[in-house]
Structure 1
Amino acid sequence: MLKTIPPIERITHMYELVSPVKPLVVLKYLSILVIGAGAMLLVPLIVALYFSEYTIAGTYILIGSVIILLGSLFHRLLPEGELEWKEALIIAAVIFPFAALLSAIPFTFSAGMPFLDAYFEAVSGVTTTGLSVAPATVGPAFLFARSWLQWVGGIGIIIIILMVFIPPGTSAHRLYAINSPETPLRPGVTATAKLLVQIYCLLTVVSFLILVAGGMPAFDAVCHALSAVSTGGFSTRADSAAGFAGLTIPFLITISCLMGAFNFSLYPRIIKDKNALLSDIQFRYFLLFAAIGILLVFFTLTETMNPAEGLSVASFQVISALSTAGFSTVDIGTLPDGTKAVLTVLMWVGGSVGSTAGGIKILRLVILLKVVHLVFIRYFLPREALTPLKLGKDVIETEMVYNILTFVFLYSLVLVCSSFLFMLYGFSLDNALFEVSSALGTVGLSCGITSAAMPDILKGVLIIDMLLGRIEIVPLLILAFPRTWVKK
């Protein structure tokens, strides 16, 4: 059995979904997550007080306190119960749109945005996308809050709450299995959650230090460290990484994005085995896709940029798209169609399973390539020959292949339908596909479509795409499945 697999492929008890969920159990554990989400809302309060944005600070205090009190009340009143897989799936589907809803309220007050725009910004934050409809004049508390939201969404809200609020047991194990693609790195899931958060915090500190050392102001470095390691892409500058002069800071931002785009389980293994990085199949394929992408983008830029500038832009934007970070050093809308086409494909690919990156994920694509290879090999072998599908030394089960094919099909279907809706509003196919790919891959690059002036319907489409991309489609669809709630 392959150990490093996407979360939904790890669920071996899907038969439980034939019976409806227990709403009180879902609410019991959701109340714990509400308490944690309320506590996280209090963090931007510190920044608001530091910059004397007292009205915004008061908003965060009020909303955070009310949410914590309501969560505590529901937790005390609701009966105890163990989560089954179906309840864990529901919680995974609900927590991201709900956390975005809570964060949208202070966003509305701090930036004077319509609530739909504020919710768009909050969803873009918690899903680590980075598409923005915020005005250019927002204050530092808003800039920090959305980067903080990306940082929390990057590691996973439930992973953080598992570390603090939920005691070890069956429910904790199932919440971890739904939200993390890795087998536990330590004997218990709580210990594993703590280790993952420790690694995440360490990478963030390293990112902050190298950005400050590279000449970035401290506040900007904090925000960019939060959004780079989470491969989120929100910047304190309206023109993203292009707002910083020279090549040093964009290079350091790239390093920070790469730290978040690789499988987190690699870091403990690297300490024990220096060859662990190069032996990781996802890392090797990431380098392959990046190298091919840089060559192709460089080729498409030869007529519009000199070689030095073209190589710089190609390297930064390819890593930004493939890691799904979404920073930019150029106006994406001015790039040639060929360049945008390559970046679109890279946004479909995404980063490693077990990282903060989005997209289809390298591991899924590698397994599909293995399937194609096996199909061709079978033509040259006797029918009775046994040819198991293997990745390294691990045998890939048929059920996992079915799940991956289903996910890729659903991903493609959402991509096509969403792009078609954009085309109905007059956008060209290439630009519509680019924008939707960015949202569904939780990337954040924009060719100029995403703005406050965008029709509300299209904002809603991108909101759904961002949520589907972060939650990975299946849990959100199960949430809308009638049998989830009503016994047939």
Structure 2
Amino acid sequence: SAFIIPTIILYLFHFVLKRIKSDREARTRHIMITVSLAWIIITLVGSLPFILTHTLSPLDAVFESVSGWTTTGLTMIRNPEFLVQNYERDILFYRSFTQWVGGIGIVVLALFVFMRRGTIAMDYYAFEKGEQRIKPRLKSTIMETWKIYIVYTIACIVLLSICGVELFDSINHTFTAIATGGFSTYSDSAGHFNEYPNSLLIHTILMVFMLIGSISFLIHFRLLEGNYKEFIRNVEAKYFFSILILSILMISIILFVNGNEKNFINSLRKSMFHSISAATCTGLSIEDIDNWPDSSKSILMLLMYIGGFYGSTAGGIKVLRFVLMVNVISHCIKRLSLPRSAVLRIKIGEKQVEGEDIIYASALSMVYILISVIGALILMDIGFNGTQSMFLSLSAMGNVGLNPVPSEQWFAIGPVGKITLIFLMLVGRLEIFPILVLVSSIIYRGKRRF
């Protein structure tokens, strides 16, 4: 009944919505409100299995559900191993499954928005150099995306199983890796595999599939067709991997110099795993990072802010927008040293970016930082230090799940902290504006009534 009741509720919602018809054309505002409400309803209904099985309290259940569907990975389950030992694996499987479905759900949503002409991603990916690069119909594109997603999922499960990981753990960690989620069946996350004979291979497989999940599925179409040159030329890929490699090297040196690791190879290994986990917005970890130097945590925060590719399961502001912001800054600097009559154009690859796209990307990037800072201030007020607060805020906003807080302090977090993080996870997953439009609509209707 714990899973049947939510299924019936969601089916009834689906049944009712299919029969609602309107002759009026849906505006962007209406679409944003609908998407926000749908995500909120799904997460609320999705919390019922945790409540009905008495796994979590109602607020913790909502937190866990939101964390799952938004592919964040922050958890209120203290000891997942306890559930496994007591044959309550179904709730852990369900929890991982919410991330897997939530991951492909956000990709489909991104593709839906992407298919509209005039967006920066559409302009860059689909019509660069005048060549159409994706399937012309939305339905066929979504079906192809599902097929690719399932193939990658099966491949990861098989590879982990070959390495000696139990099938149940292979499935759960595959769901969380390909969806860039973060939930694990163990309280020490992927660190549980540190003692396995094939631990390096297991961690490598997880890193590869975290990276796969963070790459745009629009690129996967081309890669699976054998068009590797497009990936090499891709601006997002160049920036993403350049920043990632630099971050790995910097964190490795910091950990080694600060004495966190006496062996540089181990330092490099830990840096690589956590940098990839942060950059892909997955949140798996192989050791507690609460004892890491603040400088290394700051680098992870930057990676979480940037996030993955547009049209992937990853969060953050997206690499494409970060590239645009870098170009805008470069444009402003050049402008200062040139005469007023000089004409400068902002480009991503070969595509010129229009003013409206620049305004939207700039606004989103700034509001993203503003909300993260407000969230951090609230978390500081309830007892976390500055680094912990900002890290947690960016981790929730970026749907990452990396947690710098010691377990005892984390599980003592109160309702205010949980509600703040729930809001940040939802706002970050829907890229801010849909939730803000919903909130503003509610406020506007409330004012009209009074």
1:269 partnered with 2:222: yes
2:385 aligns with: 428
Distance 1:349 1:69 in 2: 38
Shift of 1:159: 3.2
Distance 1:158 1:370 in 2: 26
2:260 partner SS: coil
What pairs with 1:238-249 in structure 2 (closer than 5 Å)?
A: 238-244=187-193, 245=196, 246-249=199-202
What pairs with 1:15-414 in structure 2 (closer than 5 Å)?
A: 58-69=1-12, 71-73=14-16, 75-76=18-19, 78-81=20-23, 82-136=25-79, 137-138=82-83, 139-156=88-105, 159=108, 177=116, 182=122, 185-244=134-193, 245=196, 246-270=199-223, 271-302=225-256, 303-305=259-261, 306-414=263-371
Cα deviation digits, residues 232-277 of structure 1 (max 9, x gap)? 0111111100001322211111111011011111122222422122
Distance 2:44 2:416 in 1: 18
1:445 aligns with: 402
1:156 partner SS: helix
* Contact residue 132 and residue 451 of structure 1 kept, 8 A: no
Change (3 A) 1:403 1:175: closer
2:156 partner SS: helix
Percent identity over the alignment is 31
Shift of 1:475: 0.7
Distance 1:354 1:214 in 2: 30
Distance 1:109 1:83 in 2: 37
Change (3 A) 1:173 1:257: closer
1:125 partner SS: helix
1:359 partner SS: coil
Report the residue type matching 1:99 in the other structure. Answer: I
1:454 partnered with 2:422: no
1:18 aligns with: none
* Contact residue 180 and residue 354 of structure 1 kept, 8 A: no
2:429 aligns with: 470
Shift of 1:484: 9.0
Change (3 A) 1:348 1:396: same
Distance 2:313 2:120 in 1: 11
* Contact residue 10 and residue 42 of structure 2 kept, 8 A: no
Distance 2:102 2:17 in 1: 24
* Contact residue 90 and residue 475 of structure 1 kept, 8 A: yes
Distance 2:381 2:31 in 1: 37
- Please provide the CA RMSD for this pair: 2.5
TM-score (norm 2): 0.87
Change (3 A) 1:345 1:73: closer
Distance 2:215 2:414 in 1: 36
Change (3 A) 1:438 1:402: same
Cα deviation digits, residues 202-255 of structure 1 (max 9, x gap)? 221222222122221111111111111110011111110000132221111111
Shift of 1:176: 6.3
Distance 1:177 1:117 in 2: 38
Cα deviation digits, residues 87-133 of structure 1 (max 9, x gap)? 21112212222111111011112353110000000000000000001
Distance 2:153 2:116 in 1: 24
Distance 2:17 2:227 in 1: 47
TM-score (norm 1): 0.81
Consecutive unaligned residues in structure 1, runs of 5 or more: 1-57, 163-171
* Contact residue 84 and residue 174 of structure 1 kept, 8 A: no
Change (3 A) 1:196 1:109: same
User: Structure 1 residues 232-241 or 378-387, which shifts more?
Assistant: 378-387
Distance 2:192 2:364 in 1: 37
Shift of 1:73: 4.5
Shift of 1:382: 2.7
Distance 1:132 1:71 in 2: 29
Shift of 1:483: 8.3
* Contact residue 478 and residue 484 of structure 1 kept, 8 A: no
Distance 1:106 1:483 in 2: 29
Q: Which runs of 4+ in 1 moved over 6 A?
A: 172-176
Shift of 1:291: 1.0
Report the residue type matching 1:119 in the other structure. Answer: V
* Contact residue 237 and residue 243 of structure 1 kept, 8 A: yes
Report the residue type matching 2:4 in the other structure. Answer: I
Q: 1:480 aligns with which of 435, 439, 449?
A: 439
Distance 1:336 1:105 in 2: 39
Change (3 A) 1:121 1:417: same
* Contact residue 229 and residue 256 of structure 1 kept, 8 A: yes
Shift of 1:371: 1.0
Distance 2:113 2:283 in 1: 31
Distance 2:155 2:120 in 1: 23
